[in-house]
Amino acid sequence: MIWTNDPTRLMLVAGMGAAYALVCLAPYLRTRRKRLAAARAKAEAADAGWIVAYASQTGNAEELAQQTAATLKLAGIPVRLAELSELGAEDLQGAERALFLVSTYGEGDAPDAAAAFAGRLMTTSLPLAQLHYAVLALGDTAYAQFCGFGRALDQWLQAQGAQSLFPRVEVNRSSDAAIGQWRQQLSHLAGTSDAPDWSAPAFEAWCLSERVQLNAGSAGEPIYHLELEPASGVLPAWQSGDLVQVAAPADPSRAREYSIASIPADGRVHLLVRLHTHDDGSHGVASGWLTQSAALGASVQLRLRQHQRFRLNGNAERPLILIGNGSGIAGLRGHLKARALAGQGRNWLLFGERNAAHDYHYRAELDGWQRDGVLEKLDMVFSRDQAERRYVQDRLAEQAAEVRAWVDQGAAIYICGSLEGMAAGVDAALEATLGRDGLDALAAAGRYRRDVY
Ligand SMILES: Cc1cc2nc3c(=O)[nH]c(=O)nc-3n(C[C@H](O)[C@H](O)[C@H](O)COP(=O)(O)OP(=O)(O)OC[C@H]3O[C@@H](n4cnc5c(N)ncnc54)[C@H](O)[C@@H]3O)c2cc1C
Ligand SMILES: Cc1cc2nc3c(=O)[nH]c(=O)nc-3n(C[C@H](O)[C@H](O)[C@H](O)COP(=O)(O)O)c2cc1C
Does the pLDDT of residue 128 top 80, yes or no?
Answer: yes
Nearest of 91, 123, 83 to residue 444 by alpha carbon: 83
417-442 mean pLDDT? 94
Mean pLDDT for the chain overall: 91
Q: Best of 64, 103, 451 to mutate for ligand 2, by most ligand atoms within 8 A of CB?
A: 103
Nearest residue (by CA) to ligand 2, atom 28, is 105
Q: Which ligand lies nearest the alpha carbon of 255?
A: 1
Region of 68 (left: φ > 0; alpha: ψ -120 to 50; beta: rest) is alpha
**Amino acid identity for residue 161 in this structure:** G
**Distance set, CA 103 to CA 74, 93, 111, 151, 364 (Å):** 25, 23, 7, 10, 39
Report yes or no: 187 and 195 within 8 Å, Cβ to Cβ: yes
Residue 360: CB partners within 8 Å, gap ≥ 6? 353, 380, 382
Does the pLDDT of residue 256 top 60, yes or no?
Answer: yes
Q: Which ligand 2 atom is the nearest neighbour of the CA of 141?
A: 11
pLDDT at 5: 55
Residues with CB under 6 A from ligand 2: 56-61, 103-108, 111, 138-140, 143, 145-148, 174, 419, 452-453
Q: Is the CB of 451 under 6 A from ligand 1?
A: yes
Q: Which ligand 2 atom is the nearest neighbour of the CA of 453?
A: 1
36-52 mean pLDDT? 62
189-197 mean pLDDT? 72
Q: Does domain 45-190 have CATH number 3.40.50.1000?
A: no
pLDDT at 391: 97
Q: Which of 20-29, 304-313, 366-375 has the highest mean pLDDT?
A: 366-375
Nearest residue (by CA) to ligand 2, atom 6, is 105
Instruction: Report the distance separating Cα 87 and Cα 100, nearest Å.
Output: 11
Instruction: Report the distance separating Cα 79 and Cα 135, nearest Å.
Output: 16
343-369 mean pLDDT? 97
pLDDT at 7: 59
Secondary-structure breakdown of the chain: helix, strand, coil percentages, each rounded to the nearest 5:
45, 25, 35
Q: Which ligand 1 atom is the nearest neighbour of the CA of 261?
A: 8
pTM for this entry? 0.83
Superfamily of chain region 204-306 = Translation factors (2.40.30.10)
Collapse the DSSP code of 101 into the 3-class scheme (helix H, G, I; strand E, B; otherwise coil) and give the result. strand
Long-range (24+ apart) CB contacts under 8 A made by 210-219 are: 210/268, 210/296, 211/291, 211/296, 214/272, 214/361, 214/362, 215/358, 215/359, 215/361, 216/358, 217/357, 217/358, 218/354, 218/355, 218/358, 218/359, 219/354, 219/355, 219/358, 219/384
pLDDT at 6: 61
Where do the structural domains in the chain lie, given as residue ranges?
45-190, 204-306, 309-452
Q: Which ligand lies nearest the alpha carbon of 104?
A: 2
Phi, psi at 191, each rounded to 5°: 65, 40
Q: Which ligand 2 atom is the nearest neighbour of the CA of 54?
A: 26
Does the pLDDT of residue 197 top 90, yes or no?
Answer: no
Q: Is the CB of 447 under 6 A from ligand 1?
A: no
Long-range (24+ apart) CB contacts under 8 A made by 369-374 are: 369/336, 369/340, 372/340, 373/345, 374/336, 374/339, 374/340, 374/344, 374/345, 374/347
Does the pLDDT of residue 444 top 70, yes or no?
Answer: yes
**Weakest-pLDDT range from 43-52, 163-172, 250-259:** 43-52
Q: Which ligand lies nearest the alpha carbon of 172?
A: 2
Q: Which ligand 2 atom is the nearest neighbour of the CA of 57?
A: 27
Does the pLDDT of residue 189 top 70, yes or no?
Answer: yes
Q: Which ligand 1 atom is the nearest neighbour of the CA of 251?
A: 25
259-271 pLDDT tens trace: 999 999 999 999 9
Ligand 2 center–CA 425 separation, angstroms: 20
Higher pLDDT, 350 or 112: 350
Nearest of 431, 357, 447, 361 to residue 393 by alpha carbon: 431
CATH level 2 (architecture), domain 309-452: 3-Layer(aba) Sandwich (3.40)
Same fold, 45-190 and 204-306: no
Rg of the chain (C-alpha set): 28
326-340 mean pLDDT? 98
pLDDT at 245: 96
**Weakest-pLDDT range from 26-35, 146-155, 250-259:** 26-35
pLDDT at 3: 43
Ligand 1 center–CA 330 separation, angstroms: 15
Higher pLDDT, 43 or 199: 199
Instruction: Report the distance separating Cα 296 and Cα 52, nearest Å.
Output: 45
Residue 16: CB partners within 8 Å, gap ≥ 6? none
